[in-house]
């Protein structure tokens, strides 16, 4: 009798232990299921390039830095080992794809050609140049200020990225010239830069964006120009700047760095990139401070986009001679 009672007690304990284990397992499974349901699913990517080079335009990213460029249904993101920059697609008003020739050998390749006599370097140049893609993204920030970012991508990748945006996006209008400000309302040491006007000239978007961003970078680096505002900026002080700058392109000829590099001395005349443009600077009262036609060419053995930097440097020199530039005391 005692043996039967002990066996019954052990069976009851085993039953309760099994029931408790089953209860704990079912509870844990339910909790895990709730966690899985609550966890947000990752945003799907529509396109990605693992070999993107940011040339200029993103304030949070250094120029000429490599990273991963990706497009989702809501954003464009450029990520590097030091961080990432995200642009909301709702703020993008234009995106375009272009192409250019770039030398595989880089600086070392250019140097090696120079030391090979009797035109041998020209043969190397004709072989080593490859075509790559340019992706240009134009957008407005939280203050409606204009920005343009340019990326260098492997061949055909930019075109595939641009196709994701479907029909051409609405182009942003150039900010209209403001009426003369009332005395005392203009911000001291302020300069506002309108977007590049190229309405009558078939110039690739990347040239306009590179010129604009290079010019912004140079002017902001010079304390004599004070605070530099972008086109469309609604931030405090931008409505009535001390001076306003407008650039308009009147002529453009797209050169070819591969032709310049592969034709020896003739490269100084063949495949030349040239830009003609007009610079107009006026103060807050409408007084003209600078009104001049300028021209720039790229004849050297480098990529054609270098002309944007040369142009920005030339314009900055002209502006430093005007009243818009305050010399340090």
pLDDT at 90 over 90: yes
CA distance 286 to 281: 9
pLDDT at 40 over 60: no
Q: Which of 95-99, 248-252, 282-286 has the lowest mean pLDDT?
A: 95-99
| Residue range(s) occupied by CATH 3.40.50 in the chain | 179-329
Report the candidate in 304, 282, 117 with the shortest Cα–Cα distance to residue 210: 304
The average confidence (pLDDT) of the chain is: 76
Backbone angles phi, psi at 227, to 5 degrees: -90, 125
Q: Does domain 41-171 have CATH number 3.40.50.1970?
A: no
Percent of all residues in the chain with a pLDDT value above 90, rounded to a whole number: 46
Highest mean pLDDT among 41-45, 244-248, 274-278: 244-248
pLDDT of residue 127: 40
| Residue range(s) occupied by CATH 2.30.29.30 in the chain | 41-171
pLDDT at 286 over 70: yes
Cβ neighbours of residue 67 closer than 8 Å, sequence gap 6 or more: 52, 54, 61, 78, 79, 80, 81, 84
Mean pLDDT of 17-33: 53
- 204-234 per-position pLDDT tens digit: 899 899 999 999 999 999 999 999 999 999 9
**161, 149 Cβ separation under 8 angstroms:** no
Cα(first)–Cα(last) distance of the chain, in Å?
Answer: 111
Q: Which of 14-28, 40-54, 237-251, 277-291 has the lowest mean pLDDT?
A: 14-28
Which CA distances in Å does 62 have to 80, 102, 121, 137, 264?
10, 20, 33, 16, 34
Per-position b or e across 198-208, b if 16+ CB within 10 A of its CB? beebebbbbbb
- pLDDT class of 261 with cuts at 50, 70, 90: low
CA distance 17 to 11: 10
Pick the CATH number of 179-329 from 3.40.50, 3.10.50, 1.10.150, 3.30.70: 3.40.50
Mean pLDDT of 189-204: 90
Mean pLDDT of 226-253: 92
Cβ neighbours of residue 246 closer than 8 Å, sequence gap 6 or more: 177, 194, 197, 279, 280, 281
3-state secondary structure of 290: strand
Backbone angles phi, psi at 145, to 5 degrees: -75, 140
- pLDDT class of 106 with cuts at 50, 70, 90: very low
Mean pLDDT of 177-200: 75
Between 26 and 224, the more confident residue is 224
pLDDT of residue 328: 66
- pLDDT class of 120 with cuts at 50, 70, 90: very low
């Amino acid at each position: 009798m005692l043996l039967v009672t002990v066996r019954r007690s052990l069976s009851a304990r085993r039953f309760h232990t099994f029931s408790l284990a089953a209860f704990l397992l079912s509870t844990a499974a339910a909790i895990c299921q709730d966690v899985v349901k609550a966890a947000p699913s990752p945003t799907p990517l529509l396109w990605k390039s693992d070999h993107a080079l940011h040339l200029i335009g993103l304030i949070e990213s250094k120029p000429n830095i490599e990273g991963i460029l990706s497009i989702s249904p809501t954003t464009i993101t450029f990520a590097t080992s030091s961080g990432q920059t995200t642009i909301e697609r709702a703020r993008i008003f234009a995106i375009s794809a272009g192409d250019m020739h770039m030398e595989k050998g880089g600086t070392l390749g250019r140097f090696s050609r120079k030391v090979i006599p009797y035109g041998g370097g020209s043969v190397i140049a004709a072989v080593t140049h490859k075509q790559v893609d340019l992706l240009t993204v134009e957008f407005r920030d939280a203050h409606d200020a204009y920005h343009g970012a340019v990326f260098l991508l492997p061949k055909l990748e930019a075109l595939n990225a641009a196709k994701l945006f479907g029909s051409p996006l609405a182009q942003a209008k150039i900010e209209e010239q403001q009426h003369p400000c009332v005395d005392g309302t203009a911000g001291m040491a302020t300069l506002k830069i309108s977007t590049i006007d190229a309405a009558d000239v078939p110039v690739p978007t990347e040239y306009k964006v590179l010129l604009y961003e290079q010019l912004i970078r140079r002017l902001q680096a010079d304390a004599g120009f004070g605070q530099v505002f972008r086109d469309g900026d609604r931030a405090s002080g931008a409505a009535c700047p001390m001076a306003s700058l407008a650039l308009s392109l009147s002529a453009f000829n797209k050169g070819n760095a591969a032709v310049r590099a592969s034709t020896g001395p003739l490269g100084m005349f063949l495949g030349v990139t040239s830009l003609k443009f007009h610079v107009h600077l006026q103060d807050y009262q409408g007084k003209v401070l600078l009104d001049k036609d300028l021209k720039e060419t790229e004849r050297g053995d480098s990529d054609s986009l270098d002309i944007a930097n040369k142009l920005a440097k030339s314009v900055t020199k002209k502006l430093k001679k005007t009243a818009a530039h305050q010399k340090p005391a």
